[in-house]
Structure 1
Amino acid sequence: MTSSLIGQNKATKVVTRIREEELMDVPLQAEAYAGADFSEPNSNFVAHFADKFPAFRGDRILDLGCGPADITVRFAARYPQARVVGLDGADAMLDIAREVILQHTALANRVDVRRWHIGREENPLGTEVFDAVASNSLLHHLRDPLDLWKAIRACTAPGAAVLIMDLIRPQSRIEAERIVEKYAGKETEVLRGDFLKSLLAAYRPAEIMEQLVSINMNSLQIEVVSDRHLIAFGSID
């Protein structure tokens, strides 16, 4: 990790992590999330993948915690040679995802979504593995964060590209509220409330590195990419 990141990790820990519910399976929540404008972070996510893996030519991409499938569809558009599978544990999200895919008729034959509540249900993919595994804003939802890293290991082909993006827990609740106001001030009350909960449930870079070390996946690198996001990326043997 870079020296600037190490310095940030030494900052005083003011906010203790507050767990959030695992699934957005209430239709009102799912609709609020799907209706919000995440075009900037979602397009940035795919751009980060292209930047970190410029030579990627794989034909199987997995999107863990795909939600309404916006990122899933973006990957299919960016990598026309690839089949993209999105997995989510919330039926309400998957219902929206299927509608979104139908709207992208040129991509629909290369995009599929399925149900998987990671850590609670058996892997629906069986022994199928992927050339790339991506996940955005899933880590902070899981009851046990190691469930995500175990799922990634189970689903990756040798040398697969891995990119995980998630929120960073702010140093105080006041800072979290400022972030919500800055980026979601005009969104619905439901979305603002869920965004605040997610910020308070998120991990800090040092905490994620501890997770990776504990599961022997510390070949992945961590990088802070915005005032509220970090990425973990690399390949797994």
Structure 2
Amino acid sequence: MRRVPEPELMDAAGQAAAYAEADFSAPHQFLVDQARRLLPDLPATARVLDLGCGPADVTVRFARAFPGWHIDGVDGAEAMLALGRARVADAGLEQRVVLHRAVLPQDSLPGTDYAVILSNSLLHHLHNPQVLWRVLCAAAAPGAFVYVTDLRRPADEISLRQRVETHSAPEPAVLRRDFEASLRAAFTAQEVRDQLRDAGLAGLAVTELTDRHLAVAGRLP
């Protein structure tokens, strides 16, 4: 199935609120748990960068799972960040999680030499996927751990419809519509492997986690 890109930013207040209010606890916790499986040597204490943090649900879950991590979350959508900052405050994590607005690649990141780089569901929003891999390399310390998760594009329309019905049928219309658009905008596992090769990151492994998720995991040289 041909890829159909979607807007890079999700900055509409209603759209952001729908995401923040939706219950993504099961898939998001699954992605956090898979980080421990794929990267069993993740450090207990680290400076961490979360690219495309959105409303910070995954960010907060990582902060709870790794109490020694200090995380800078970055997103380009102020509507998402406002909800994310509220979530961080509700969790009592303001001392360890700070969210910043930055539109990639033109805006500066809050720091460099991060020991861990995270990203969830940013890759499929980028019209040029190399933006993520270039920013990641520029921000990472030598030997940094990388854990990037995203949707993966179905092979055909029938598979896409099945995934939309299976995973978003009970959700509000805006979420069903966005989920379908995101599946169409997502990359296949092989496309991500090709991106990594072109970026000089072929040492990172691409794993198909579920019928709709993939992960890129490993350490930089």
Tell me the secondary structure at the aligned position of residue 95 of structure 2: helix
* 1:69-118 deviations in Å (ceiling 9; x for gaps): 0111111111111101111010110010011111011x221110001111
Moved over 4 A (4+): none
Structure 2, unmatched stretches of 5+, are: none
Distance 1:77 1:216 in 2: 32
* 1:8-28 deviations in Å (ceiling 9; x for gaps): xxxxxxx10001100110111
Aligned length: 220
Distance 1:16 1:71 in 2: 29
Structure 1, unmatched stretches of 5+, are: 1-14
Question: What one-letter code is carried by the residue in structure 2 that aligns with 1:24?
Answer: M
Tell me the secondary structure at the aligned position of residue 149 of structure 2: strand
> 1:54: how far off?
2.0
The question of whether the paired residues in 1 share the 8 Å contact of 2:152 and 2:212 is answered with yes
Q: 1:146 maps to what in 2?
A: 130
**TM-score, normalised to structure 2's length?**
0.96
RMSD: 1.1
2:46 aligned with 1:59: yes
Question: What one-letter code is carried by the residue in structure 1 that aligns with 2:24?
Answer: F
Q: 1:122 maps to what in 2?
A: 107
Distance 1:116 1:41 in 2: 26
Tell me the secondary structure at the aligned position of residue 62 of structure 1: strand
Distance 1:174 1:29 in 2: 26
Question: What one-letter code is carried by the residue in structure 2 that aligns with 1:90?
Answer: A
The question of whether the paired residues in 2 share the 8 Å contact of 1:173 and 1:200 is answered with no
Sequence identity (%): 41
Equivalences for 1:87-236 in 2 at 5 Å? 87-105=74-92, 107-119=93-105, 121-126=106-111, 128-236=112-220
Distance 2:57 2:48 in 1: 14
Tell me the secondary structure at the aligned position of residue 68 of structure 2: coil
Question: What one-letter code is carried by the residue in structure 2 that aligns with 1:226?
Answer: T
